[in-house]
Amino acid sequence: MEKPAPEFLIHIYDEIAEAQVRIPRKEYEKYLVKWGIEDQKAAKISSMADYKDNGYITRDELCSALNCWPDRPEELKDVKVLNTDMPLKKRESIILLVCDCANKWNHKYDLVIEIKKRIEGVYGNVWNAFVVDGRFWSIYTHKPGSNLVFVSKGIVYGVYQSPNVE
């Protein structure tokens, strides 16, 4: 990843810290790497935010270090969520990831392969993706907290993680 936008870096923080006041610096650094930021850049960003050098980062410290206090990412304005049981920040992160893939891939088969690959790189294995530009009915079983179906630019996108089969 070239130079990640400050809003993106803060959004990633928000996703992993949804229920926490602060997060370990190394956890944030590892998560940045999962999102495609080079190891050295991730280390630099996380150490910049941990200016107290206590091993933890708060959202305010990250925003101050980046000189950026974002609200909701601009790319999410025209997205309509149809169905989900995901936590908010994870949902927004996946929508941003899917929209980024959609902007880069024209062929739908290649698009779903790329979406699956990138989601599994961040959130683990056994993810499924679909892209629909016409009528479609579906029923599937998913791991709780992993289902997301949304519309962007007239196309329906869906992702979900398969449950563990025992």
All structural domains of the chain with their residue ranges:
6-66, 74-161
> Residue 23 in contact with residue 56, Cβ under 8 Å?
yes
Lowest mean pLDDT among 10-14, 97-101, 119-123: 10-14
- pLDDT tens across 124-143, in order? 999 999 999 988 888 888 99
How far is Cα 103 from Cα 57, in angstroms, rounded to an integer?
Answer: 32
Q: Is 6-66's fold the same as 74-161's?
A: no
Helix (H) or strand (E) holding 80: strand 80-84
Q: How many degrees, rounded to 5, is the angle at CA 5 between CA 114 and CA 128?
A: 20
Pick among 3.40.50, 2.30.30, 1.10.238, 3.40.720: CATH of 6-66: 1.10.238
Domain 74-161 has CATH 3.30.740.10: yes
> pTM here?
0.71
Confidence of residue 55 (pLDDT cuts 50, 70, 90): very high
